[in-house]
A and B are shown apart, each in its own frame.
Chain A
Amino acid sequence: MAACGGAGAGCGPQCSSSSSAGGQEDALAESMGRLSTASAAAACGKCDGGGAAVAVAGGVGMCAGCFRTHLFGKFKLSVTSNAMVRPTDAVLLAFSGGPASRVALQFIHEMQSKAIQSWEASNSQALPVFSLGVVFVDERSVLSASLPGHEIQAAIEDIRSVVSGLSPGDKRVHIAPLEEVFSSGSDDKAARLKEVVGVISDETGRDDFVRRLRMLSLQKVALENGYTKIMLGTCASGIACHVLSATVKGQGYALPADVQYVDTRWEVPVVLPLHDCLAQELNLLCEIDSLKTQQLLDRPCSGINGLVSSFVSRLREENSSREHTILRTAQKLKPFSFNKFSANGYHDFLPSRLRPKFQNIDANECTFSEILCLICGSPFSESELLNLENTKLKAQKKIDLYTAHCCQSCHFQILPAATDMYGHFFSLLPKFWTEKVDAASASHSSLRDQIADYLLDEDDGN
């Protein structure tokens, strides 16, 4: 049995790859670090007759088949126990082409084909099968290095061919250029995107802002095409990085909102079924199953996010279960009310096996009372709420309201340093963000509008 488990350094001599069974396995072991022990002597610890162990998970060496089952089990458990996918859902999978979203695509496809099979086999055909679509957000316009157009086209074609190769079940592929988040009225969306990103001086802030736009773009595609859930390939390693970077950015209060399985802050709820899988495991599975991935359009994280991810990979080298520990810490923090689907009382007397399938988010949009940051969506902490209340009382300009609706972290890293730039910055933002504040402050500004003609202090904010 592979003894070096999750313990990290100090493997015994049996863990060296001296007795490996061929060059391919060596290469695999090298790329997987300690996850794969690549010792041919070690047999699978799960199935007796199985082949050589290729991976170590939970302290047990596993053969390729068992490893796959293990990962699929984790995926399925998080889908079912959090009621992520209902039979009537239309699921939109955010697909970057990287290993995590590739595995998510594979797994959700398998769940769908099983559901199709049982639908065909059942007499009543009462339970419908959820539908599945795939979206790729094209971030070409904010990539620093310019890529030749034909390479990007080829990558997109690759994605199309991967998705079309998965049958049964029709899956639509959407390609969403990032600049499409700006409403249709704007003339040159790409230029506007470049401009607003250019206004942000902090490197980390820019990175976070683009991530946020990406989420917005997913929402847009989902809303326009009638999807009811958005599925992300965010994995445990990614969440562990987020835990640390949010801490470092002073977002400790809002942190638990981002590390749960379900996030219904958005109009279309977002689910993270790979919540418990490590990036290394997903990479390994892609190699074992020869799932095609592509990194061409990957945007490496920069600034503090980059620093955190290199810190986490150092921690992983020292102890391969460190990411799980970080995740566990974050899970002990209290989540927000929007981090679960609330049960619809009507279905409470269904058999417990079926009940989760009918759980629903409340039709009423405002089921949670938290005030969210205009830009990053973080729930406001007490001091931020206090500040907002104070501003509401005395705010004259709409810009003041906008800034008060940004959390302290966004204030620092995303808003321009010069306050006279605020007006310009907010005018560049996608309408989706600012109109929420507009709606909330409608009563206030209409009062002001009535007397606007008599006010001497003209400002560009109104």
Chain B
Amino acid sequence: MDSSATDGARLPPPRAGSRLCVRCGERKAALKRPKTLEQICRECFYIIFEDEIHQTIVQNSLFKAGERVAIGASGGKDSTVLAYVLSELNRQHNYGLDLFLLSVDEGITGYRDDSLETVKRNEIQYGLPLKIVSYKDLYGWTMDDIVKAIGLKNNCTFCGVFRRQALDRGAALLKADKIVTGHNADDIAETVLLNILRGDIARLSRCTFITTGEDGPIPRCKPFKYTYEKEIVMYAYFKKLDYFSTECIYSPNAYRGFAREFIKDLERMRPRAILDIIKSGENFRISTTTRMPEQGTCERCGYISSQKLCKACVLLDGLNRGLPKLGIGSTKAGARADSDGKQRTKRSERNTSSLQGKHGNFDF
């Protein structure tokens, strides 16, 4: 076994005459399950892995028969495994879903163009139709252009805001009823922690929802909510799934901030800690009187927004007017005295940059 190809997961080396799978008791155990540390064989791993996702889907009634479901596909491990597993489960359990892949082309040369090739191969391998929406078409800017204009600072803010909206727009174009994304348990645990560290009670209350945006036009759900990242990597590795594992060239390693590292340390010490964090997140007693931002629609593009203009329109406005700082950092800064305002903006920039997770920003 070559463990160098895996993303952080340490696969046990094969040992001659090693134990039998604790689940079936027949075959030789081939791996130690990251979630429970049980030694099981490959076949049982596939069964457990798929069955847990199936149970998550059924217990939370994520889908109804006949729905058109867009799978947010980046070509990375999470979305590739999601596309594969969903199409398998759809077949095995007759969900009756009309699945297709939806990719966003941010326009990052040397990264997205390559990963989109992977998605195109997946389209053929899994027989799922693919739709690609691009920043260039939607906003008139590619990420390459944006980075050229604003540099490498805050570029992830633009990308995150635009991607969120692009997915929704792509799904709307294809008349999808739902979007599914490959966010896994590690991602959600990390978000819970980050929201505690930032004091963001509104996001803390909804970041553990398995389905979000149910009041909006197209709800999004996360079938991998309880699936460990390491198990996803393992599944992809054993099934030899074709995925793209390069990091974004504009998002250096540093983005896997403190919180990510902390969660990895925790997982080593107590694998169930990830599930425990999610459980805590679900059970927090958040007072119903806590003020939540009101949901409205953007005056310009009609997208959901808590402000007059949605974030994407504000950012785009800044780009087009040559004021790329517009809409970045604390919105309160403008109201304060100039010097004070500058300091605040600076501080909040620093905060966001150091607390950004691997997805740039954490608007789910």
Contact = CB atoms under 8 A, between A and B. Distances in A.
B272 A412 contact: yes
B196 A250 contact: no
A246 interface: yes
Interface stretch (B99-107, B152-160, B280-288): B280-288
A325 B197 contact: yes
A202 B270 CA distance: 10
A34 to B, nearest CB: 14
Contact of B192 (A9, A247, A255, A311): A247
B351 A304 contact: no
Contacts of A307: 262, 265-266, 269
Given A307-B269, A319-B351, A250 B290 contact: no
B36 to A, nearest CB: 12
B254 to A, nearest CB: 12
A326 B287 contact: no
A114 interface: no
A248 interface: yes
B145 to A, nearest CB: 30
A211 to B, nearest CB: 18
B308 interface: no
A251 interface: yes
B193 A250 contact: no
Contacts of B351: 319
Nearest to A203: B269
A210 B337 CA distance: 51
B347 A247 contact: no
Task: Give the contact-size bracket for chain B.
Answer: 35 or more
A253 B347 contact: no
Given A8-B350, A10-B350, A252 B282 contact: yes
Interface string B253-268: 0000010001001100
Contacts of A326: 196-197, 199
Contacts of B266: 248, 304, 307
Contact of B193 (A247, A251, A255): A247
A381 interface: yes
Nearest to B285: A334
Contact of A315 (B258, B285, B350): B258
A53 to B, nearest CB: 19
A58 to B, nearest CB: 15
A412 B270 CA distance: 11
User: In this complex, which of A311, A315, A318, A322 has the most chain B Cβ atoms within 10 angstroms of its Cβ?
Assistant: A311
Interface centre among A251, A252, A334 (most CB of B within 10 A): A252
A325 B201 CA distance: 11
A311 B285 contact: no
Nearest to A303: B269
A256 interface: yes
Contacts of A8: 350
A332 interface: yes
A114 B343 CA distance: 42
Interface string A246-276: 1111111101100000000000000000000
Interface in A280-323: 303-304, 307, 311, 314-315, 318-319, 322
Contact of B269 (A243, A304, A315, A333): A304
B23 interface: no
B298 interface: no
B199 A311 contact: no
Contacts of A204: 269-270
Interface in B172-210: 192-193, 195-201, 204
B265 A251 contact: no
Given A247-B192, A311-B258, A318-B354, A329 B199 contact: yes
A243 B196 contact: yes
A247 B286 contact: no
A333 B276 contact: no
Given A253-B285, A318-B354, A247 B196 contact: yes
B286 to A, nearest CB: 6
B332 to A, nearest CB: 16
Contacts of B193: 244, 247
A250 B197 contact: no
A252 B286 contact: no
B279 interface: yes
A376 B321 CA distance: 58
B280 A252 contact: yes
A412 B347 CA distance: 41
B242 to A, nearest CB: 35
A246 B280 CA distance: 8
A325 B198 contact: yes
A166 interface: no
Given A248-B277, A326-B199, 12 more contacts: A244-B193, A247-B281, A250-B276, A252-B281, A252-B284, A253-B285, A303-B269, A304-B266, A311-B258, A319-B350, A319-B351, A334-B285
16 contacts: A8-B350, A247-B192, A247-B276, A248-B273, A251-B280, A252-B279, A304-B270, A307-B266, A314-B258, A319-B351, A329-B198, A329-B200, A329-B204, A330-B196, A334-B287, A409-B276
Interface of A: 7-10, 202, 204, 243-244, 246-253, 255-256, 303-304, 307, 311, 314-315, 318-319, 322, 325-326, 328-330, 332-334, 381, 409, 412
Top 5 A-B pairs ranked by shortest CB distance? A252-B280, A250-B276, A253-B283, A334-B285, A247-B280
